[in-house]
């Protein structure tokens, strides 16, 4: 079910969306961009921030990664093989876990997985792929798979809620629902109270959503 690869192009785009101009929702995370920049040479970050247009920024990051890539290539290859084996060995359990918490069929046959050299791991639901960090171990990659595929299930079965709730509430609910597949995660600051409330509810995710009780949860500000 899982096909793991490294794509320099997708990795570079992750840099643009996080280190160049932050395009990901913060969900209450202060200093997100600054924290993601930690560990990189100051000269590289300053040079990237000084660029105004996307094509130049993409080339700047790609050139940086090409220089770094030879040193990481062997390690990336090991991560790719290990992660693909681990994810596919657990694929049936992952699907069953998601079916259990949603009370609905797992509808995906093939999922792409791309390695990133950043610690933030975006996804693309329409193209059915998500990223895992090269710095993660097999357990963290399994947790990432559960987290992101929870999102995919939510989009697949309840995507129409975006029109009813609006973007921010929809995204907040989507993130908070990962408490059912990733209960050990702390969650993002903006959804912690809703996440804690959801963890106390009985029934499947689909039952909780259809009952609509979460909409009356007054403690959640629904801010991204």
Q: Alpha-carbon distance 10 to 12, whole Å?
A: 5
Intervals of the chain under pLDDT 70: 24-31, 33, 69-71, 213-224
What is the tens place of the pLDDT at every residue in 35-55?
788 888 889 999 999 999 999
Strand, helix or coil for residue 95: helix
Q: Alpha-carbon distance 118 to 13, whole Å?
A: 11
What is the tens place of the pLDDT at every residue in 151-168?
999 999 999 999 988 888
- Taking the whole predicted model, whether its pTM rises above 0.75 is answered as yes
Q: Which of 56, 178, 33 is nearest to 119 (CA)?
A: 33
- Domain locations in the chain as residue ranges: 2-216
């Amino acid at each position: 079910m899982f096909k793991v690869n490294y794509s320099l192009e997708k990795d570079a785009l992750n840099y643009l969306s996080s280190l160049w101009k932050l395009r990901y929702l913060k969900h209450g995370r202060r200093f997100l961009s600054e924290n993601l920049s930690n560990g990189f040479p100051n000269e590289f970050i300053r040079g990237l921030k000084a660029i105004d247009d996307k094509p130049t920024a993409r080339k700047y990051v790609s050139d940086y990664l090409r220089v770094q890539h030879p040193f990481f290539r062997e390690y990336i290859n090991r991560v790719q093989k290990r992660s693909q084996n681990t994810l596919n060995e657990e694929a049936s359990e992952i699907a069953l876990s998601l079916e259990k918490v949603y009370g609905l069929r797992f509808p995906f046959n093939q999922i792409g997985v791309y390695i990133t050299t950043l610690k933030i791991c975006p996804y693309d639901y329409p193209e059915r792929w998500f990223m895992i960090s090269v710095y993660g171990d097999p357990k963290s990659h399994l947790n990432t798979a559960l987290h992101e595929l929870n999102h995919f299930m939510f989009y697949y079965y309840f995507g129409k809620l975006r029109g009813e709730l609006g973007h921010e509430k929809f995204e907040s609910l989507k993130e908070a629902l990962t408490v059912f597949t990733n209960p050990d995660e702390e969650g993002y600051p903006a959804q912690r109270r809703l996440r804690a409330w959801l963890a106390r509810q009985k029934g499947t995710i689909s039952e909780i959503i259809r009952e609509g009780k979460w909409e009356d949860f007054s403690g959640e500000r629904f801010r991204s």
